[in-house]
């Protein structure tokens, strides 16, 4: 069994209203000194068998097709050791 982590974040130039809301709320709750908060998604995907190069490429295709919107988001695939 292998486990992949797919991290999907809005591109830096795209406005992130959720992140902005958190960045505005934290100082009101007593947390100072923040310069930026960005919110994204994280997927844990488990597959049968080992994490071969072919399987990594498959997960990257799946991320492009279903998990990320490449117009506004970037993604990273990592093998979870």
According to the binding rule CB under 8 A, does residue 44 interact with its own copies? yes
Start-to-end CA span in the chain (Å)? 11
Q: Which two tokens stand for residue 53?
A: 């190069």
Query: Residue 10: is it exposed, middle or buried by C-beta count within 10 angstroms (0-12/13-18/19+)?
Result: buried
**Least separation in angstroms between CB 79 and its own copies:** 15
Q: Binding residue for its own copies (CB under 8 A) from 41, 52, 57, 78? A: 41
- In the complex with its own copies, the residue whose CB is nearer, 53 or 65, is 65
CA proximity to 10, closest of 1, 19, 23, 2? 19
Q: Binding residue for its own copies (CB under 8 A) from 13, 15, 49, 71? A: 49
Please report, as ranges, the residues that interact with its own copies according to CB under 8 A: 1, 7-9, 19, 22, 25-26, 29, 31, 33-49, 55, 58, 61-62, 65-67
């Amino acid at each position: 069994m292998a486990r992949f982590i797919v991290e999907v974040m809005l591109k830096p130039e795209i406005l992130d209203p959720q992140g902005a809301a958190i960045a505005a709320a934290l100082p009101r709750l007593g947390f100072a000194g923040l310069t930026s908060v960005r919110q994204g998604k994280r997927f844990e995907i488990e597959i049968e068998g080992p994490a071969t190069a072919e399987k990594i490429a498959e997960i990257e295709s799946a991320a492009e097709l279903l998990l990320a919107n490449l117009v506004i988001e970037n993604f990273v695939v990592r093998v979870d050791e």
